[in-house]
Structure 1
């Protein structure tokens, strides 16, 4: 947690309301996102209780499992979830646009847009990953030897959910996002990070009802109960309130089981409708809270680099669409060494890129980097034209600026500056950092006879003179390109982090990887890998 975030949380606690942690929206927000609010059965992580899903705020689709321990009803729930999500995937998959050819890539097509999936919190996001892992390998009714087949679309749903959950691990991705993560990125509250995972409490800090403040609204959302003893703001899932489970849900499930065992159609329908009503009462408040968070985020202007990161998500969506249409098998349970290393390297690069882009898009984020000494901003005082020594003189002007930021870097460190209408950042080298004004030493306090009367060191300067040498971004001529060198009086910002960080060298293919790192055994690139034996099929595989 940065010092700026700590200060923002302290300010929020002092005023009783969340404060802005960003001035722009740093994540893509679709016009019609798919909102999914899941609930699971207490003590049974793989047994869904119900869900609300859809793109229409006023008319969500309600899916309920009257008896979560019944295998057939769970499979019907997965089929209903597939019927709600897969048509949206298909609609986006067929709408494509052409990307022109570049020096390193042929002309290709990419989906013009991609569906965005929003869940209430991080626990619900992990539950989506669990649903994908538990359904993508299920055998369908097309397999005549399957002991407990599922409807045909269910494994396809699992593959899509797995892809979205894996993509969510890439920093800056917006295909699958948790509303609590979106809100805490843009607002700082006066409560702990764990309490921020309660969506109702988080919204209470950000947008408290009239006549109350953030702490009171959050306390009501977390602990407030009605006359029936149930929470006024149910948990945002996938877990349910234990009081609701014991007092309300368990008796309703018992009535349904009794009617089902007796074979009474009428009472069973009444009991099933009662379970649906109870589950809906727990899902509806969270559904409204998610859309309320969407409204708050839409009020923020979109950051300049958000579209670029969303384009990477569109490429990811297009790639998975192509793998499905090519008939490739489902994602493996465990990645091999090369694939795992590639994923890790890609996520590290995405994290560095996200940090840089957020700072460039948002002055409030840049202020945190300046406070940490990773950037400095000031007014240009002097520009001295100089040239590189060599057969061909190249412009290397010295730019001196006055700043109140103290750069935490040694002379010779590479610095970067964003230049308008330039494809890449301008590079520079840090030359010197000196106080802008001499700081007088404080007068020594009188001490006992014989004590050292030397004056203590002076205070910290309020301003610094920072000199950098521009080394790039000025064209190939002897004279710098117009606008590439700042003029005295201009306000400029230099950073010590790259604006477009690059990944490391490419990893070898599977066939060229040594056997010590998951490659072919014996060190032979031509020897095939042994096939992994399939797991023994047990009854638990179909629960």
Structure 2
């Protein structure tokens, strides 16, 4: 927990109401999202009990499973879910637009919009991931066939669950995380996982949150007391009123989901949210095309190279997402100012026409002086960026004490045009308030990864032919050599000790 978040939690306790920790909305909220509230049977691995799903707040569709242990009823439920989710997803795979690539030398096609699915909490995402894994490999013919829509549903659920792991993605969103990104309550993060309580803190305050603690759960797990008193007897006797009971159980969460969407829409959207949604549309377009071309289902597990590449993408996305949030939101950037990764100051001197002709050709290198009263924890030579001009780099030339603060001399490069005269407004003017930070949105290329066939056999590559393997009898016994070296005093490793055949420890 960061310093400002801890302070906001303390203020929420005193005020009895959730406190904002963002000034803008950091995720895309679709105009026509699909809300999906899954419910599973307790004690059964991935056994769906019900789901409330739809795109209209006034017309939820309830899907139920009378006997979750029955395989046929499970896949009938999956087919019913596919009848709602797949047409919704397919409705976005229509209109396309041209996107310039390779610096305008080529174009590619991308769908103009993408679907967005909302679930109440992270456990809902986990359910969709497991349900997708259990359905995408099912056969539609042969022994124990399933409806044709079931494996297609599984592939889409797996795709959405995978995108939910990507920092900044908004194709599959859980309401608890979305609210926690913008408000903090006066309770712990673990208590915030109860969706109804968290929303009550934001909408009405602590008193309403205490009342919501006894309300219906948001799934996917049911309340044990409800299971014992109500659910188990209904399932045992196949009671016809089971759908009505489950409808009444899920309806409060359904209403809360749409109130959450309305609450988030009232926040001004961050400038860089559009860039992340563009990346989501790219991912949706690529996967839809894979399905259209008859591509195979996602593998049960990634190979070594694919897993490393995925981890690399996740790390890069997490770093980029953190920078984008800070550049969009001064309240988020304040965290970096506290840690010394950013500071604010006023431009006191500016030389926008300075040209550096010490190299092979002259280049435009304006210099500015920034005075700040905040601690500056960077060294000369460090590269800084301003959120107001993210494409421009500022290299620290010197840092000198001045009055009640310090003067930081900076040399600028980039973002000023291609001529030896800076474009108007591209160089900060005297008197301008400026925030400078070590954060950067610049592209960071990933490391080179080998082809799967070039990895060792332990990582999925080809096994070493037996004839090429060294004969163990030709290799010296390393343990015996180390014991002898230790006895002679030749082994220099600190703390090394070896045990002889008689159990005696040699230092």
TM-score w.r.t. the length of structure 2 is 0.87
Specify the alignment match of 1:132 in structure 2.
132
2:252 maps to 1:285: yes
Specify the alignment match of 1:535 in structure 2.
none
1:67-106 residue CA offsets vs partner (Å, 9 max, x unmatched): 1111111111111101010111111112322224534874
The answer on whether the counterparts of 1:62 and 1:280 sit within 8 Å (CA) in structure 2 is yes
In the TM superposition, what is the alpha-carbon distance from 1:495 to its structure 2 partner? 1.4
1:294-337 residue CA offsets vs partner (Å, 9 max, x unmatched): 01001011111111101111111111111111111111111011
Specify the alignment match of 1:529 in structure 2.
none
Paired with 1:85 and 1:487, the residues of 2 have a C-alpha distance of 53
Paired with 2:118 and 2:386, the residues of 1 have a C-alpha distance of 35
CA RMSD of aligned residues (A): 1.9
- Which sits farther off after the overlay, 359-368 or 33-42? 359-368
2:207 maps to 1:216: yes
1:123-147 residue CA offsets vs partner (Å, 9 max, x unmatched): 111111111011111122xx1x21x
* SS, match of residue 23 in structure 1: coil
* SS, match of residue 368 in structure 1: helix
Specify the alignment match of 1:318 in structure 2.
285
Specify the alignment match of 2:408 in structure 1.
466
Provide the aligned length of Structure 1 versus Structure 2.
463
2:17 maps to 1:17: yes
Task: Give ranges in structure 1 of 5+ residues lacking alignment.
Answer: 209-213, 225-232, 257-270, 438-460, 524-543
Paired with 1:124 and 1:67, the residues of 2 have a C-alpha distance of 21
Task: Give ranges in structure 2 of 5+ residues lacking alignment.
Answer: 466-507
* SS, match of residue 428 in structure 2: coil
* SS, match of residue 348 in structure 1: helix
Paired with 1:338 and 1:350, the residues of 2 have a C-alpha distance of 18
* SS, match of residue 470 in structure 1: strand
Specify the alignment match of 2:386 in structure 1.
417
Paired with 1:57 and 1:293, the residues of 2 have a C-alpha distance of 12
1:116-515 correspondence runs (5 A): 116-140=116-140, 143=141, 145-146=142-143, 148-208=144-204, 214-222=205-213, 224=214, 233-256=215-238, 271-272=239-240, 274-384=241-351, 386-388=354-356, 389-419=358-388, 425-437=391-403, 463-513=405-455, 515=457
In the TM superposition, what is the alpha-carbon distance from 1:164 to its structure 2 partner? 0.5
Sort the Cα spacing of 1:300 and 1:154 in 2 relative to 1 into closer, same or farther, 3 A: same
The answer on whether the counterparts of 2:453 and 2:460 sit within 8 Å (CA) in structure 1 is no
The answer on whether the counterparts of 1:435 and 1:464 sit within 8 Å (CA) in structure 2 is yes
TM-score w.r.t. the length of structure 1 is 0.82
In the TM superposition, what is the alpha-carbon distance from 1:387 to its structure 2 partner? 4.4
Paired with 1:478 and 1:54, the residues of 2 have a C-alpha distance of 58
Sort the Cα spacing of 1:335 and 1:290 in 2 relative to 1 into closer, same or farther, 3 A: same
Paired with 2:366 and 2:177, the residues of 1 have a C-alpha distance of 44
The answer on whether the counterparts of 2:218 and 2:253 sit within 8 Å (CA) in structure 1 is yes
